[in-house]
Amino acid sequence: MSSAPTSEPLSCVAGQWRRGGGDEFAVSDPARAEVVATYRGADASDAAQALDAASQAFAGWSRQVPAERSALLRRTAGLLRERTAQIAALLTLEEGKPLPEARREMAVAADALEWFAEEGRRAYGRSIPSPMAGVQIQTELVPLGVVAAFTPWNFPVMLSAIKAAAALAAGCCVLLKPAEETPLAVCELARAFVDAGLPAGALQLLLGSGAELSAALLPDPRLAKISFTGSTGAGRAVAELAGRHLKPCTLELGGHAPAIVCEDADVQQAVSALAAIKFRNAGQVCANASRFFVHESVLKPFTDAMGEVVAGLRVGPGDAEATQMGPLANARRQAAVAALAEDAVGAGARVARASGRPSGKGWFHPAMLLVDVPDHARVMREEPFGPLLPVTTFRSLDEAIARANALPVGLTAFGFTRSLACARRLGSELRAGSVAINTTQLMWPEAPFGGVAESGWGRENGAEGLLEFVSARTRVVA
């Protein structure tokens, strides 16, 4: 893939592609640390015009029968599948992930559109037996209105598609705001919606500063809902602003997922599964395992096998055919991951094995297997969001669960055991929105996903994901 400049990303307001009136932003290729595009972000005036258009479009879009909305979402999914090669290349260019991972993200995005295309047709109300003779009580699910969806840089197409699909299937209109660093592929997602026939105004694309646009959008009474995926710190700021204006939020925030490998686990299977998810997207996945609690009796076979995986990992540009792990997304992440590794070693940890990394200007960091990591090391308390794999040992399951639950976050958790009793305990006692036993597969369109405690509020995907965008209206007829 060439790192030559690409076309300028544009916002889409009221069906028109245009430059925003705000600050200028740059899109960089993480593998080469080179700017590949610049664009002008939307400002408060653009946000107001987008709200105008969405508010006007809501009356018509919300009244379309679910089957018509379903057909449009299916057409959009078909266009994404047809355009996978083109959009995946943009994903790799702006975010850095290897092309196979970018193509997988496209497939998951299309799957989500197809799932919600059908789930929107199954959003039923119900009849309630009345306590009074001659009175009928019914409920119906009513779309909330205009919603704002803020998505992060690590999975820009997938997360934008999930939010937009659920909201549109529910009958809402969407203001979509992707991360400043990764607008290219999301522009193509929005183009697929437009080309599929989505009415002008039903989906607006606003590029630019998340802080500026949220400050412009959230106080407006026409905005009914916010759906945000990002860091816990940014989520707090969104929740505070939303609370000031009594706007409901769905917040999918950071995690720091424990992975507990019990003494009776199939160690090779655990290593294969955990390595596959840990180094996906260079470790920049909020749902992946990031704290590894290994029973002391299986520490050596676990670290020996994981060390072989780490040392053999091929790190390079995402567009290179042999690459298994790409760069970090930006220089900030590179510096943050290096600081966490340095702190861990200073706290007494040892780098057991490490991958190579290419020379040059890209924002690469080697994958590292860290052993003997104390619980007070920063990497055990702060989500690394990078290719660091910190390992500590435990003696009893009670101890492992207590240490795993010691942090205030709870997005995902993982356990590996052959014991049904241990599996039941891990599944019920680990504090997380999603718990996987003997697998690392957690996210499907059919299954709700979200966190507890400081990992957020609400759920995405599944029937629960659509319910985030509707309210239940009770209708009583005498």
- Cα distance between residue 418 and residue 388, in whole Å: 27
Token duo for residue 449: 């996903």
Mean pLDDT of the region 456-470: 97
CATH number attached to the domain at 257-445: 3.40.309.10
Instruction: Indicate which residue of 95, 286, 383, 422 is catalytic.
Output: 286
How do the domains of the chain map onto residue ranges?
Answer: 11-253+455-477, 257-445
pLDDT at 248 over 90: yes
pLDDT above 70 covers what percent of the chain?
Answer: 99
The predicted pLDDT at position 5 comes to 52
Q: Are 382 and 316 in contact (CB under 8 A)?
A: no
Helix/strand number for the chain, H first, E second = 15, 22
* Catalytic option among 95, 105, 252, 263: 252
| pLDDT score for 215 | 94
Is residue 1 within 8 A of residue 90, CB to CB? The reply is no
Binned at pLDDT 50, 70 and 90, residue 7 comes out as: confident
Tell me the pLDDT band of 283, cut-offs 50, 70 and 90.
very high
User: Is-catalytic flag, 286?
Assistant: yes
SS3 193: helix
Instruction: Specify the pLDDT at position 405.
Output: 98
185-217 pLDDT, tens per residue?
999 999 999 999 999 999 999 999 999 999 999
What number is the average pLDDT over the span 265-282?
A: 97
Q: Is 321 noted as a catalytic residue in this protein?
A: no
Say if residue 227's pLDDT is above 70: yes
What whole-number distance in Å separates Cα of residue 458 and Cα of residue 235? 13
- Domain 11-253+455-477: assigned CATH number: 3.40.605.10
> CATH topology of 11-253+455-477 equal to that of 257-445?
no
pLDDT at 3: 44
Residue 360 to residues 31, 312, 363, Cα–Cα distance (Å):
9, 20, 9
- The mean pLDDT value for 244-258 works out to 96
Confidence of residue 1 (pLDDT cuts 50, 70, 90): very low
**Tens digit of pLDDT for each residue in 325-339?**
999 999 999 999 999
Distance, CA of 293 to CA of 303 (rounded, Å): 12
pLDDT tens-digit series, residues 403-449:
999 999 999 999 999 999 999 999 999 999 999 999 999 999 999 99
Residues 6+ apart with CB under 8 A from 246: none
Residues 416 and 269: their CA atoms lie apart, in Å, by: 9
Average pLDDT, the chain: 96
What's the predicted TM-score (pTM) here?
0.96
The CA distance from 334 to 277, in Å, is 19
**How are strands ordered across the β-sheet holding 126-128?**
126-128, 136-143, 470-477
Position 359 scores a pLDDT of 87
Average pLDDT over residues 222-233: 96
